[in-house]
Amino acid sequence: MALERFFEPLSEVTGYTYDLEVLERGESAYQRYEVGVSPLFGRMFRLDGAAMTSEGDEFIYHENLVHVPALAHREPRVALVIGGGDGGSAEELLKHPSIVRVDLVELDGEVLALARRYFASIHRGSLEDLRVSVRVEDGLKFVGDRVARGERGIYDLILLDLTDPVGPAAQLYEEPFFRACAQLLNEEGLLSLHLGAPDHRPERVRALVARLRAVFRFVFPHFHYIPLYGAQWGMAAASNATNCSALTAEEIDARLAARGIGDLRYLDGTVYQARAVLPRYLRAVVG
């Protein structure tokens, strides 16, 4: 197959290009998709014209989305992943030996099917692990139903492993949904999500951080360059009792060692602690 060149916008006035040998393309009930092979990133997945994950650099996104909050929690046992149909977040969660259950709620069953077909190197069997309960459901409804039933404090971690805050995912980035998630978190629980590209959409990053701060006492924005996304990318961990920025490099390294997590390619104590220090212009963006 020949390489195709794709343009991906980062804002109304910026974007980047990459080449991809498309293996499969189609449209589910919710979104368009392409699976292909990139000369740089290996197998790669796109939804509605946006790169989602790749074999080559998925570790940057998934390690930071998962382990920044998970290492801040003293003993995470039960986690909820909204989205995350590629299985990468579940795979990282299972590295913590205390985890006994992961509820993975993915809106689009086709995403799960594509992950099982093409991305074993990302999910590494986590989608079939007995500790992972995979549900093809609307994450907004899943959370809302549990809050309506009066369930409280049932999760140690909630990870919003979503597409951008437009289209089907838009309501999952709004303050009412954050408040619903806060009710499902236990006392030390943490919420984790991605914020987008601060250099291209600073207003989006600023708004999301403000919404989180309206709900949570501690909000820890952290930023990482993700090659697949062509930009520096923001994430945040939020909690009403657990302050990620208070952890020292030594504490993080000690928790990694105690939990037997030795195969991370990005995070260690030094990197974790360094992410608490933002350059002045990013401090201005997050407020």
Taking 50 as the pLDDT cut, the residues of the chain under it are none
Residue type, 128: E
Q: What domains does the chain contain, in order, with CATH numbers? A: 4-53 (2.30.140.10), 58-286 (3.40.50.150)
Give residue 167's pLDDT.
81
Dihedral of the alpha carbons of 241, 246, 247, 248, in degrees to the nearest 10: -170
Q: Are 135 and 82 in contact (CB under 8 A)?
A: no
DSSP assignment of 75-88 equals S--EEEEEE-TTSH
Write out pLDDT tens, residues 211-233. 999 999 999 999 999 999 999 99
Separation between Cα atoms, residue 126 and residue 122, nearest integer Å = 9
Residue 253 CB contacts under 8 Å (≥ 6 apart), including other chains:
268, 269
Which pairs count as long-range contacts for 67-70, CB under 8 Å and 24+ apart, including other chains?
67/92, 67/261, 67/264, 67/267, 68/192, 68/220, 68/222, 68/235, 68/237, 68/244, 68/267, 68/272, 68/275, 69/157, 69/159, 69/190, 69/191, 69/192, 69/237, 69/239, 69/242, 69/244, 70/96, 70/157
Residue showing tokens 């407020």: 287
Catalytic residue flag (residue 253): no
Burial 125-151 (b: 16+ CB within 10 A, else e): ebbebeebebeeebbbebbeebeeeee
Give residue 168's pLDDT.
79
Give residue 70's pLDDT.
98
Q: Are 193 and 235 in contact (CB under 8 A)?
A: yes
Catalytic residue among 103, 129, 161, 199: 161
Q: Are 49 and 86 in contact (CB under 8 A)?
A: no
- pTM, full prediction: 0.97
Residue 271 CB contacts under 8 Å (≥ 6 apart), including other chains:
none
Best CA proximity match to 112, nearest among 97, 101, 122: 122
Report in angstroms the alpha-carbon separations of 258 from 95, 147, 151, 153: 12, 34, 32, 26
Separation between Cα atoms, residue 198 and residue 196, nearest integer Å = 6
